[in-house]
Structure 1
Amino acid sequence: VNINKIATLRNSRGGNMPDVAKAAADCERFGAEGITVHPRPDERHIRYADVPAIKSVISVELNIEGNPIEKFMNLVLATKPAQVTLVPDAENVLTSNAGWDTVKNRAFLSEICLELHRNGIRSSIFVNPEPEMVRGAAACGCDRVELYTEAYASGYGKDREKAIAEYVIAAETARECGLGLNAGHDLNLSNLGFFTGKIPYLDEVSIGHAIICDALYMGLEKTIAAYLGALCR
């Protein structure tokens, strides 16, 4: 469960309501197998100070997403989460909107992955569903790739078989390269079951916005249970 949106709500009013660390612990209590945070330089949702506080109250995996600028790397090396997902988002973007060009950025990403491995942190690179980018990620020495699923979510309502096709190919490429496989962006209760049914060897999906939206109507505990059910179809 990505808890960024809970932090966005807190920051809109000031103070500490809702408490993001408590929310993370509650998500675990309700069945979440991991917590994702994506601190950005402007701290418009998750703040850098939130991250160690969240880690201290959960026992499931912590995944920290972000662009590996110096401030971000200092945070993750101090916190030592289970996983760091490298995302090439610029400082002014509303949300992540593209994967890495792992060919052009191979030297840089290789250095980052090596540093993470030295510190016992699993590395994942956020990529578009393109075999070349998946193979490029493998060449960087990462452990996993995370497929950027916005295109799948956008096309799902029109032709779900067409929407999933390139993801199946990218997922198969990841397996051939010996990479673990994550996915995320705009996945929800409508499209998640079909995605995981077509790619049953996914290691992890990271979902935030849709979970928080559904929780407004169903409550957080029932929502997490519903998503776990969708993953098990």
Structure 2
Amino acid sequence: MILGVNVDHVATLRQARGGKEPEPVTAAALALLGGADGITVHLREDRRHICDRDLGLLRELIPVELNLEMAAAKEILKIAVRTVPDLVTLVPEKRQELTTEGGLDVKKGRAVLIQAVKVLHDSGISVSLFINPDPDDVGISKEIGADMVEIHTGGYSDSRGRKQERELAKVVTALQTAVDIGLKANAGHGLNYYNVSRVAELDNLRGLYIGHSIISRAVLVGIERAVREMKDLMNTADQKIEGK
């Protein structure tokens, strides 16, 4: 199972002062030393954190999967085609949100998403759709032409007790639906050091994409250690799967 580390919030801290540090590209390199299997950045239309320069440097320098999160917007599609990341994850985007608030509305956005997927595929870029843990959304993602989906785990991460069990069951059902129809499946959003294990223990999960909790921990212990600790939790979960 791969761990994709999102370094957006290193850039958020840089942008708070409008200066040159901390450097998200350096953070990405340290994440690799800690065991990250990939680096994720979200190039937003308003460039609130990651900017075009960051994306270009990461594409040139990192030797692992570069996952570009982006809206299906014409301007950003042109940048993706020019940069050619290993993976594009199409996500919903609102200017006023603090972070991504949910999965894509694949029903409403079907036509736009179909066109975006085609543009990306024509450039040889694999495409994932960030969706809610809903079997119908998984099926529509397949129809749209996605290569994989990333299942939104925010409902699970933000709940406790019985509600958390229900939210985890939704993730399990969506994951199994993806496997059944031939889609690779990832998961992410809100996962941290306390709740990641139960998701990481799920069968047939390609990878987890985690950012905020790792960068938050890195403020205290450093990025390399923070990534290594998360990867250790995932490896332990993998061993449990293999031992079933």
- Into which bin does the TM-score normalised by the smaller protein fall? over 0.9
In structure 2, the partner of 1:111 is: 115
**1:211 aligned to 209, 214, 238, which one?**
214
**Deviation (angstroms), 1:137:** 0.5
Runs of 5+ consecutive residues of structure 2 not aligned to the other structure: 237-244
1:204-224 per-position Cα deviation (integer Å, ceiling 9, x unaligned): 211111001111222211111
The Cα RMSD (Å) is 1.2
In structure 2, the partner of 1:78 is: 82
- Give the stretch that moved more between structures: 39-48 or 4-13: 39-48
SS at match of 2:52: coil
**1:62 aligned to 50, 63, 66, which one?**
66
> Is 1:179 the equivalent of 2:183?
yes
- After superposition, residues 120-199 of structure 1 pair within 5 angstroms as 120-155=124-159, 157-159=160-162, 160-197=164-201, 199=202
**1:220 aligned to 220, 223, 226, which one?**
223
C-alpha separation in 1, matches of 2:113 and 2:18: 36
**Deviation (angstroms), 1:66:** 1.3
- After superposition, residues 16-35 of structure 1 pair within 5 angstroms as 16-35=20-39
C-alpha separation in 1, matches of 2:32 and 2:80: 21
Ranges of 4+ aligned residues in structure 1 off by more than 4 Å: none
Aligned length: 231
TM-score by length of 2: 0.91
Q: RCO higher in 1 or 2 (8 Å CA, sep ≥ 6)?
A: 2
SS at match of 1:56: helix
Give the letter aligned to residue 223 of structure 2: L
In structure 1, the partner of 2:52 is: 48
Runs of 5+ consecutive residues of structure 1 not aligned to the other structure: none
C-alpha contact (below 8 Å) 2:42/2:50 kept by paired residues = yes
**Deviation (angstroms), 1:193:** 0.7
Identity of aligned residues (%): 38
C-alpha separation in 2, matches of 1:31 and 1:70: 34
TM-score by length of 1: 0.95
**Deviation (angstroms), 1:194:** 0.8
In structure 1, the partner of 2:239 is: none
